[in-house]
Amino acid sequence: MNKFKTITRDNQSCFWIKSLKGQQLTMREIEAIKNQEVIGLLPVTVKQKERSFKLGYNITGYIPLSAYLKSPMDKNAFAVLIDNILTILQTLQKSFFNQKCLLLDFKNIMVNPATRRVFFIYVPIQHFDNHKTLKDFFLEIADTVLFLQNEDTGYVEKYKSIINSGVNFSLFELEGYIKELLGQPITIQKKIKCKKCGRENTFGVRFCTSCGEMLIEQNSKEGTVYNPLHFNGAPLSKALAENPDGCENHTDTQSFSEGTSVLGIEEFDGTTVLGDEEQKRTAPYLIRDKTKEKIGIDQPIFKIGKEMHCDYIVSDNNAVSRNHADILTKDGRFYIIDHHSTNKTYVDEKAIPAQEETEIFSGTKLRLGNENFVFYL
């Protein structure tokens, strides 16, 4: 478990996280946070040492969420708080950030007392796990808030019932309810039944909140209708861990509304239907044999090796070279290229020539040195 510490000096408060042995930073996320590409995250400072590092977050002027929740709150203030958090979670999903890297302890979530905006501490460490589900987090908020005594709090029970609707819950449905509390316009969504487990899901959720299966609605007149890519309430990392073949690792998150046009998509009588090429798109991923980890390939050139600039860092195997191999995506086809690695790259147990593109397919076995992976669509 990483050690956390808050240091106050010269009226400045900073929250520090110390790395553990073998932990690696996710440089893409650090740059995105530094460039403020994701809203609601506190800026991070990295202090690198030879074999370790520390992450620092300036929390001067903020108050922890635990203190903020002690102030009496009415229905509107509660809805604004939840709406703020949902917006942050949506932007995380759009940027392919892992929700499990958010610190969800109330004392480590900050609130600007002037604007009442929430700011999270995001830990850009590979495979970091906050050990807390969004379901528990949202329920804990309702159980901790100090509500106004004379107000009817029936809306809180409805809020809890949405969260307790299943093993996983739909943030999309929760978002709709919060907008209703705020008096904002919402779109009535029909239900779609998952063909794998039978659970009914709100239209707009891409993956089943129960089993993680990709949701597709069959329309007898218009063909296959792909669900809008709203943020799914089920923690995607959990769904992937439990159903490695049930859904994609990385998905674009977009909000669809009337009058919105999306490139590559045609509209028939108000129904959005993906073209044939779009329907065939499938997100590639690797399964690492040693850890059973699912690794989403979310870059056209996906680098694998021991260097920190790689998209996937193999930090616990000296047989893997610093810049061992790339997986390339070209026109819907996939290739692997070896960069003169010391222990070579193997495709289906055959060593491939260095610096030559070798096409791979779903189910192809890959070996980097003595580290085994399987490539899937």
Residue 176, in any domain of the structure = no
Residue 222, in any domain of the structure = no
Structural domain for 67, as ranges: 3-151
Q: Between residues 305 and 266, which one has the greater pLDDT?
A: 305
Q: What is the DSSP letter of 124?
A: -
Q: What is the CATH number of the domain that holds 328?
A: 2.60.200.20
Report the pLDDT averaged over residues 201-211.
57
Residue 115, in any domain of the structure = yes
Other beta carbons within 10 Å of 324: 27
Average pLDDT of the chain is: 79
When divided into structural domains, the chain yields a total of 2
Domain boundary among 151, 169, 204: 151
Among candidate residues 319, 315, 307, 295, the one with its CA nearest the CA of residue 367: 319
DSSP state letters, 242-310: H-TTTS-S--------TT---TTEEEETTEEEE-HHHHH----EEEETTTTEEEE--SSEEEEESSTTS
Other beta carbons within 10 Å of 230: 22
**Helix extents (H) in 134-205:** 134-144, 154-163, 171-181
The span from the CA of 296 to the CA of 355, in Å, is 23
pLDDT for res 190: 59
Domain boundary among 101, 119, 151: 151
Identify the band that residue 231 occupies on the pLDDT scale cut at 50, 70 and 90.
very low
Q: Between residues 191 and 145, which one has the greater pLDDT?
A: 145
Q: What percent of the chain has a predicted confidence (pLDDT) above 90?
A: 45
pLDDT for res 202: 58
The span from the CA of 373 to the CA of 362, in Å, is 12
Identify the band that residue 299 occupies on the pLDDT scale cut at 50, 70 and 90.
confident
pLDDT at 236 over 70: no
Q: What is the CATH number of the domain that holds 61?
A: 1.10.510
Domain boundary among 102, 133, 151: 151
N-to-C CA span, the chain: 34
Which range, of 78-82, 251-255, 331-335, averages the lowest pLDDT?
Answer: 251-255
Residue 278, in any domain of the structure = no
The span from the CA of 298 to the CA of 351, in Å, is 25
Residue 202, in any domain of the structure = no
Q: What does the pLDDT look like over 110-149, one tens digit per residue?
A: 999 889 999 999 999 988 989 888 999 999 999 999 998 8
Residue 340, in any domain of the structure = yes
pLDDT for res 169: 72
Residue 165, in any domain of the structure = no
Q: What percent of the chain has a predicted confidence (pLDDT) above 70?
A: 75
DSSP state letters, 45-109: EEEE-SS-EEEEEE-TT-EEHHHHTTS-B-HHHHHHHHHHHHHHHHHHHHTT--GGGB---GGGS
Identify the band that residue 6 occupies on the pLDDT scale cut at 50, 70 and 90.
very high
Residue 84, in any domain of the structure = yes
pLDDT at 179 over 80: yes
Indicate left, alpha or beta for 189 from its phi (over 0: left) and psi (-120 to 50: alpha).
Answer: beta
- Which residues does residue 368 pair with via DSSP β-bridges, in sequence order? 345, 371
The span from the CA of 97 to the CA of 366, in Å, is 26
Contacts of residue 2, Cβ cutoff 8 Å, sequence gap at least 6: 17, 18, 19, 20, 23, 123, 125, 128
